[in-house]
Structure 1
Amino acid sequence: MKDPVFAGGMKVRRAMWGRDGAEGQINAAGDFIWPLQEIVTKYCFGETWTRPKLSRKIRSMITLAMLVAMARPHELSVHVRGAIANGVTKDEIQEILIHAMVYSGIPRGVEAFRAAEATLKDMGLE
């Protein structure tokens, strides 16, 4: 029987990163990484990103700000792609990074801008 929470999580992942981006992670998961992929797909995307009171766009905006605060440029790059898919504009991403930088610290903001710019360039948006 297919787990509906996992299936919902995969639907969100596909919408944000495309079929290859979502299923590539799942298909590449070996025995060691599989529990991580299962938890991320079910708990993060299947149970959290599918909650109805915030749109995916707003969730992406919040996630970007938190990743600046935590100084996680790799994850920020991943979520820039997801944010664009969720309707966040390049200008909105810029404002989120500026706002988060003020509260999180300039070095974290600089790192976030560099990661976001590289991702936007890779996507042909910069």
Structure 2
Amino acid sequence: MTDRRPEFHGEMFDKGLAVRREVLGDAYVEKSLAAATDYSAPLQKLITEWCWGEVWTRPGLERRLRSVLNLGMTMALNRPAEFKTHARGALNNGLTREELVEIVLQGAIYCGAPASLDAMRLLQALFDELDTEGRT
């Protein structure tokens, strides 16, 4: 099989990688990049460059607000893995556990009970993991 993986470097990739690491943490990002296959590596490159390098670095919104938006959108779209990932990132961006709960409560009205119940379960699992790790 031909190696289809793009090179993980370049100005926009490096810029995005720095933000991605700051928001999601080194361990998560390293795991994502290490798991990239010939097929999924181009998507990792695209997301790192455009999502994290182009959009997340724009000056129009602070990271806390970008996190709030991502939580609402991933909750509405029923994307549990991304919701949990961005909940952890939201904490890294300065949101509190109480604010995350409020986001889910707000989402209950606009996204529905099933979405909010799933999101609250994900938050509780994240909080339990953080407590086990000794993080507040």
* Correspondence list, 1:59-74, <5 A: 59-74=66-81
Q: Letter of the aligned partner of 1:112 in structure 2?
A: A
What is the TM-score when the length of structure 1 is the normalising length? 0.92
Give the alignment partner of residue 114 of structure 1, picking from 111, 116, 121. 121
Give the alignment partner of residue 96 of structure 1, picking from 100, 103, 111. 103
Residue deviations 1:10-58 (CA, integer Å, cap 9, x gap): 0011102222221221122121110110111011111111111101111
Identity %: 38
* Correspondence list, 1:31-110, <5 A: 31-110=38-117
Aligned partner of 1:20 in structure 2 is 27
Give the Å deviation of 1:8: 1.1
Distance 1:7 1:120 in 2: 30
Distance 1:75 1:21 in 2: 12
- Secondary structure (helix, strand or coil) at the match of 1:31 reads coil
More helix by share: 1
Asked whether the 8 Å contact 1:61–1:83 carries over to 2, the reply is yes
Q: Letter of the aligned partner of 2:22 in structure 1?
A: A
Asked whether the 8 Å contact 2:24–2:86 carries over to 1, the reply is no
Q: Letter of the aligned partner of 2:73 in structure 1?
A: M
Distance 1:101 1:85 in 2: 24
What is the TM-score when the length of structure 2 is the normalising length? 0.86
Distance 1:46 1:63 in 2: 16
Q: What is the alpha-carbon root mean square deviation over aligned residues?
A: 1.4
Asked whether the 8 Å contact 1:68–1:101 carries over to 2, the reply is no
- Secondary structure (helix, strand or coil) at the match of 1:123 reads helix
